[in-house]
Amino acid sequence: MKSINWWQTTLKDAEIEAVVHAMRDRRIGMGPLVVAFESEICKALDVPYALMCPSGSVALYMALMVHGIGPGDEVIVPNRTFIATAHAARLTGARVVLVDCNAQNTNINVDLIEEKITPKTRAIMPVHLNGRAVSMDALTPLARRHRLIVVEDACQALFSQTQGKPLGTLSHVGCFSLGIAKLLTTGIGGFAVCHDQKTWEQLARFRNHGVSDLNHLDYQSLGFNFKVSDMTAAAGRVQLARREQRAAHVTRIYHTYVTELAGIDGITPISVNTQGGEIPIYAEFRSPRRDALLAWLEGQGIAQHLLPPGLHLSAHLENDGLFPNSDGFDREAFILPCGPDQPLENIHVVVEKVKEFFAGQFMK
Ligand SMILES: Cc1ncc(COP(=O)(O)O)c(C=O)c1O
């Protein structure tokens, strides 16, 4: 029996050669290849400043730190996100204030944000989950009215667009991940983008122990070692050059599932607006019979994956309030096999197995 992973991504010969080349050239620290990656990202996302760093989590943390967020502050975070968003805020010393998601998709319910704003609120972190745009048209004026910093978590939304603009470029700082289960990968990696030189300089200093010039250790501000090597940047540049194919492939996978499973009662896509430029990196669905379906698929050699749980379930975070929409996704949501290098033939196998399950002959 063929086994199918929930996610498939590969670094191919071109990435391997680029990394070996960097090593042979002794480009093993942070140097010109990181600068080249950053300038290619600026072009690709049409932003003036980009800064590579070790991960999306670090990008989020740095974005908050350079805006002076810390103890005594509150940061508004969606209840549904990978926990990195909340941990970034919590690690600054701020209090995390959670907001429930929409009923129809996992993104933050923007209508619920204002009631969570207090005199201590300093920042909002909209998370564009699975390429879906949080409505920045609604969120930005709200943040302006309350003088809040907005840090977009676009870790799952690289190159997704809303109204022709890339997600992650619509706020003070946008943060992206180059982790394994992302559109582009360097294995582990990430970067931040911003619009003003001052923020970029603060981020650059923070990345290197508060030093602005490597040749003069002028410790100007707080910081840490959040540098990246040219070897990582070398792989990232090759991935970046392949972004269109990778985006097209995950979108094709999403559409194949949506079309093929459309007639089945009991399984619904958590939809992504591909017409509007959103890129569904994950094939997310929901079903009231999720657990039985996933057990059945597992038995067929098809790996399943769940969405990260609602953050109110994490005892170490502040978790007051009710999150009914989020709870619904915890009960019903899941991800079918996908990924930029997942063969389409695997998707067809999964589709057939899902159809068999819902046809009933294997149900108890
Ligand atoms: C929404 C979201 N935020 C942040 C992160 C953290 O990114 P990284 O794994 O690169 O630290 C991820 C990664 O899964 C993510 O999905």
pLDDT digits (tens, 9 = 90+) for 141-174: 999 999 999 999 999 999 999 999 999 999 999 9
| Whole-number Cα distances in Å, 352 to 68, 301, 302, 364 | 52, 13, 12, 19
Query: Does residue 114 contact residue 142 with C-beta atoms inside 8 Å?
Result: yes
Mean per-residue pLDDT for 24-42?
97
Query: Does residue 105 contact residue 139 with C-beta atoms inside 8 Å?
Result: no
Mutate to test the pocket of ligand 1, among 151, 173, 177 (most ligand atoms within 8 A of CB): 177
* Joined tokens for residue 330: 């915890």
Distance 237 CA to ligand 1 centre (A): 20
Query: Does residue 114 contact residue 145 with C-beta atoms inside 8 Å?
Result: no
| Whole-number Cα distances in Å, 138 to 114, 126, 151, 166, 170 | 11, 11, 15, 17, 12
Mean per-residue pLDDT for 237-248?
98
User: Residue 362 above 70 pLDDT?
Assistant: no
Distance 131 CA to ligand 1 centre (A): 13
Q: Which residue puts its alpha carbon closest to atom 4 of ligand 1?
A: 84
Mean per-residue pLDDT for 10-28?
97
Mean per-residue pLDDT for 231-255?
98
Domains of the chain by range and CATH?
13-241 (3.40.640.10), 243-359 (3.90.1150.10)
Q: Which residue puts its alpha carbon closest to atom 8 of ligand 1?
A: 56
Distance 154 CA to ligand 1 centre (A): 9
Distance 310 CA to ligand 1 centre (A): 15
Q: What is the mean pLDDT of the chain?
A: 96
Mean per-residue pLDDT for 328-347?
98
What confidence tier does 361 reach under pLDDT thresholds 50, 70, 90? low
* Joined tokens for residue 167: 């997600």
User: Residue 315 above 70 pLDDT?
Assistant: yes
Distance 202 CA to ligand 1 centre (A): 22
Measured from the CA of 60, which atom of ligand 1 is nearest?
4
Residue type, 295: A
- pLDDT > 70 fraction of the chain, expressed in percent and rounded: 99
What is the crossing angle of helices 32-45 and 230-241, to 10°? 30
Strands of the 149-153 sheet, one edge to the other: 49-53, 190-194, 173-177, 149-153, 121-124, 74-78, 95-99
Mutate to test the pocket of ligand 1, among 82, 83, 158 (most ligand atoms within 8 A of CB): 82
For residue 53, the model assigns a pLDDT of 98
Counting Cα atoms < 13 Å in the Cβ hemisphere of 218 gives 6
- pLDDT > 90 fraction of the chain, expressed in percent and rounded: 94
CA distance 88 to 291: 32
Residues 6+ positions from 196 with CB-CB distance below 8 Å: 48, 49
| Dihedral sign (CA 320, 321, 322, 323) | negative
CA distance 177 to 52: 10
Query: Does residue 160 contact residue 278 with C-beta atoms inside 8 Å?
Result: yes
CA distance 12 to 235: 10
Cβ < 6 A, ligand 1 pocket: 55-57, 81-82, 84-85, 127, 153, 155-156, 177, 179, 190
Distance 363 CA to ligand 1 centre (A): 36
Distance 82 CA to ligand 1 centre (A): 6
Determine how β-strand 190-194 pairs with β-strand 149-153.
unpaired
User: Residue 363 above 70 pLDDT?
Assistant: no
Mutate to test the pocket of ligand 1, among 57, 77, 175 (most ligand atoms within 8 A of CB): 57
User: Residue 286 above 90 pLDDT?
Assistant: yes
Distance 74 CA to ligand 1 centre (A): 21
Predicted TM-score of the model (pTM): 0.97
